[in-house]
Structure 1
Amino acid sequence: MHTSLLRARNMAAVAVAGALLLGTSACSDDASADAASGGGDRTLNVGQLGASKVTEALLDAAGEADDLGYTVEYSLFPTGGGGFMEAVPSGSVDVALMADTPPIFGQVAGVETKVVGVQTSVVDGASTVEVFAGKDSGIESAADLAGKKVALTEGTILQYTVVKALEEEGLSYKDITPVNLPPADAITAYQSGDVDAVAALGPQLAQLTAAGDAVVADGVGTTTGYQYAVATSAALDDEQKVDDITDYLQRVGRAQAWAADHQDEWAAKYAEVTGLPVEIAQILVERESYEWLPIDDSVIAAQQAQADAYTDLGLIQTDLDVAQEFDDRLNDTLAGR
C-alpha cells in the first residue's frame, strides 16, 4: 500500500461522519458489498461509513429507495472516510457522505475526489463532538483539562475539536496529554479511569450522554459539524453518473427531512439496523439536523482552518490549498442557491 495513502487512511479513518452514517464500528478494514437496491441498467456505487446499513435503511424507511432508474450498490467502510479514500483508485466507489476531515488527508495522499455537497449535521447549539469527564472528576471546562490525559483520535474531528476548545481557553494542545486511540478504545480507556477525559461523537457520545457524564467542552462556535458528500473525480467525468449522484443526494436530503418529522419511527429503525438500544438511537436522532448548504467561501475557509491546524500539529507536512477539494456544480440542485 502506498505510504501516503496509508497515512491518509490512518489519520482519517474514524473522522466519522455524522451520526447518521456512523452506525457501529467494526474490526474489519475491508469494504463489504451490501445488497443492491433500486433498478435499471446503471449502477451507482455508494460508500456507507460504519458497519451498518444506515443510509440504505433511511432511504427505504422514507420511501426514497423506489423508482430510482439505477441500481445502488452499497459498500460498507468500517474504518470510515479513510477506507473510502483508499478504495477510490480501484474504481469501486462513486460517492459517499462523511465528515469534513477525510478529504483533507485524501488531498494529502493525492486521492482523486471532490466535495460536491455540504450539509449541517446537528441541531443549532449542539456539537458533533463533545468532550466528557466524570461527574466527580473536578473537570468542569476545557480550562480544567490542562495537565490532564485526554483520549482522542489524531487526524480526526475529535482531535480538532479538542484543539479549538483549548484555544478558546487560552491553552494549546501542548497543555494536555493527548492519548491517541480509536473511538471505541478511547471510551474504554475513559471508563476504566486510564484517562481523565474523552472526546466522543456518534454512538459513543450518546452512550456517555445517557450515562450522565459531564460535557466539559465541545465545538459549538469553533467547528462546523459539516457532513460532506464526496464523489470520485472519475464519476464526475461521467455526465450520466453526475445525474445519478445528484438524484441520490437529493433523495438523501428528503429522507433526512422525513426522519426529522418521524423521529420515533426512525429511532426504532435506527436501533434495529445498528443494534443500539432504542434510547441511545433516540439521543442520536434528536441531535441530527441536516440541511444542504452551498459550497462557498465560508465553507472553504472553515476547511482551510482545519487543514492548517493539522499542519501546525505536524500531521501534514505541507501547506494545503483546500479549495482544490471542492466542486460546486451541484450548489443549485442541492442547496437551491
Structure 2
Amino acid sequence: MKRRDFLLTSAAAGAAALVTPSIGRAATKPGKLVVADQSEFIRNLLKASGEGEALDFELELPNFAGGPAILEAIRAGALDIAYVGDTPPIQARAAGTLLPIIATFTREVAQYRLTSRPGLVINKLAELKGKKLSYVEGSGRQVFLIEALNKAGLTLGDVELINLRVADLPDAVRSGAVDVAVLSEPFVTRLAKQVGASAVRDPEERKILPSTSYIYARPDVLADPQKVEAIKQFLPAFVKAGIWSNKHEQEWAKFYFTDFQRVSAEDTAAILEGQSPLVFQTSDEAIPHHQKLIDILYQAKSIKERFDARQSFVGTFDTLIAQSR
C-alpha cells in the first residue's frame, strides 16, 4: 500500500471510529494533550479568560511559527492536535496526509496584511505586478496572497515569488529582501513604527478573505479514548475563552498585545480597531468556505487535485462547540 493511501485510510478509520461525545459525563479519564500553539495565542487566551483553570488533565502548548513546522511535528507524532491557519490542512492533504479538522474559528476581517518594505507604498492591488512577494507554501499566507492576486487580475506568474519561512518574514520586509510580505500583528504595526513599512492601502485588501483557522488532529489521537476525553474538555474551554475575548476586548487586548507582546497602548488600540470578533463554527458551517479555499489553490495550480472539503472534517465535537459558543 502506498504511503498516501495508508495515511488517507488511517485518517478515515480514525474518524469512523468516533461517535458523538456524550455531554456531561466522561467515559474515561482524560489523558495528556499536546496542542500546537502559534504566537502563544491559545496559552494566553486560556489564561486571560480563566478557562484553563478548569482543565483537569495535563496540557502542553508548544509554540510554533507557521503551519509547515507544525505539520513536520505532527507527522513525527510529537503533537496531538494543532492550531493552524486555513491552508495547512489542504497542503497536508495534497501531500498525502489527511489530518481531520475538529474545530473551526474565523474572523470576518482577515488578520493577515499585505505589508510593503520601507520606501514602497502600494495603493492598489494591481501594483503588486512584477514585485518580489513572500511565498510560504503550506501556511495560511499562501491562499491569502493568491486571492489578493486574483482580485487584482494577476496570477502567481505575474510576480516574483520569494520562498521564506514564516519566522523570516519581518526581517525580509525590514531589509528589503522582498517588496511585500503577508504579515500579521504585532509585526505590521512594529515595522510601520520602526522602519516605515506600510500595509497595502487598497480597501479591497481588507476584503480578500476572512481570517479562518482550524484545529486539526492526528487520526490515531481520535481513536484514543483518553485523548478524546481531553479534547472534549479542551475545545469547550477554548471556545468559551474566545467568546470571553469578544465580550472583554479591551481587557484581552491589553493582556495579549500590550502586556505580552509589548505593543504600545496606542498601537494596541489600532490593532483592536481593525479586528473583528471570533466566530466558532461547526463542521457543516465551515465546509463551504473550506471548499472555496481548495478551489482557489487548485485554480492557481498550487495543488494538483480538487478535493471534496467534506472529507476533511469530522463532526465529533460539533455539539460541544455549538453548546459552548
- TM-score grouping bracket, smaller chain normalisation: 0.7 to 0.9
**Is residue 2:278 matched to residue 1:295?**
no
Query: Structure 1 residues 135, 141: CA separation in 2 closer, same or farther (over 3 Å shift)?
Result: farther
Question: What letter is aligned with 1:213?
Answer: S
Q: Is the Cα–Cα contact under 8 Å of residues 153 and 159 in structure 1 kept in the other structure?
A: yes
| Alignment partners' CA distance in 2, 1:180 and 1:191 | 16
| Alignment partners' CA distance in 1, 2:281 and 2:304 | 30
Query: Is the partner of 1:116 in helix, strand or coil?
Result: strand
Aligned to 1:95: 81
Query: Structure 1 residues 111, 215: CA separation in 2 closer, same or farther (over 3 Å shift)?
Result: same
Q: Is the Cα–Cα contact under 8 Å of residues 30 and 229 in structure 2 kept in the other structure?
A: no
Q: Is the Cα–Cα contact under 8 Å of residues 82 and 102 in structure 1 kept in the other structure?
A: yes
Query: Which of 194, 203, 217 is residue 231 of structure 1 equivalent to?
Result: 217
Tell me, which stretches of 5 or more residues in structure 1 are unaligned?
5-39
Query: Structure 1 residues 57, 160: CA separation in 2 closer, same or farther (over 3 Å shift)?
Result: closer
Query: Is the partner of 1:65 in helix, strand or coil?
Result: helix
% same residue: 26
| Alignment partners' CA distance in 2, 1:284 and 1:234 | 39
Q: Which has the higher contact order (CA 8 A, sep 6+)?
A: 2
Deviation at 1:112, TM superposition (A): 5.2
| Alignment partners' CA distance in 1, 2:174 and 2:322 | 41
Deviation at 1:129, TM superposition (A): 1.6
Question: What letter is aligned with 2:218?
Answer: T
Question: What letter is aligned with 2:234?
Answer: Y
Cα RMSD (Å) of the superposition? 3.3
| Alignment partners' CA distance in 2, 1:71 and 1:55 | 15
Aligned to 2:47: 60
Query: Structure 1 residues 44, 112: CA separation in 2 closer, same or farther (over 3 Å shift)?
Result: farther
Question: What letter is aligned with 1:195?
Answer: V
Q: Is the Cα–Cα contact under 8 Å of residues 300 and 322 in structure 1 kept in the other structure?
A: yes
Query: Structure 1 residues 45, 272: CA separation in 2 closer, same or farther (over 3 Å shift)?
Result: farther
Q: Is the Cα–Cα contact under 8 Å of residues 77 and 84 in structure 1 kept in the other structure?
A: no
| Alignment partners' CA distance in 1, 2:190 and 2:309 | 34
Q: Deviations over 1:127-156 (max 9, x none)?
A: 222212368635201111112222332332
Compare the two structures and name the one with the higher strand fraction: 1
Compare the two structures and name the one with the higher helix fraction: 2
Aligned to 2:251: 265
Query: Which of 169, 176, 184 is residue 152 of structure 2 equivalent to?
Result: 169
TM-score normalised by length of structure 2: 0.76
Aligned to 1:17: none
| Alignment partners' CA distance in 2, 1:193 and 1:87 | 31
Query: Is the partner of 2:53 in helix, strand or coil?
Result: coil
| Alignment partners' CA distance in 2, 1:83 and 1:135 | 29
Question: What letter is aligned with 1:63?
Answer: G
Aligned to 1:119: 105
Q: Deviations over 1:88-111 (max 9, x none)?
A: 355443222221211112223333
Query: Which of 81, 86, 95 is residue 72 of structure 2 equivalent to?
Result: 86
| Alignment partners' CA distance in 2, 1:135 and 1:89 | 38
